[in-house]
Structure 1
Amino acid sequence: MPDITSAELKQRQQTGETPHIIDVRETWEAEESRIPGSQNIPLGTLPEKLDDLEELKDQEVIVHCKSGGRSASAKAFLTQQGFTNVRNLVGGMMGYQAA
Structure 2
Amino acid sequence: MSYTNIDKFELKELLNSNEEFLLLDIRTKEEFHENKIEGAINIPLQELLFNVDELEEYRGSKIVVYCRSGHRSITACNILSMEGFDELYNLEKGIIDYVI
Report the CA distance between 1:18 and its aligned residue: 4.5
**Structure 1, gaps ≥5 residues long:** none
Partner residue in 2 for 1:6: 8
**Structure 2, gaps ≥5 residues long:** none
Displaced runs of 4 or more, over 4 A: none
Q: Does the CA contact (< 8 Å) of 2:21 and 2:61 recur in 1?
A: no
Q: CA RMSD in A?
A: 1.2
Partner residue in 2 for 1:31: 33
Taking structure 2 as the reference length, the TM-score comes to: 0.91
Partner residue in 1 for 2:44: 42
Taking structure 1 as the reference length, the TM-score comes to: 0.92
State the SS of the aligned residue for 2:4.
coil
Partner residue in 2 for 1:96: 98
Deviates more, 1:50-59 or 1:37-46: 50-59
Alignment CA distance shift 1:57-1:18 (3 Å): closer
Correspondence 1:72 to 2:74 = yes
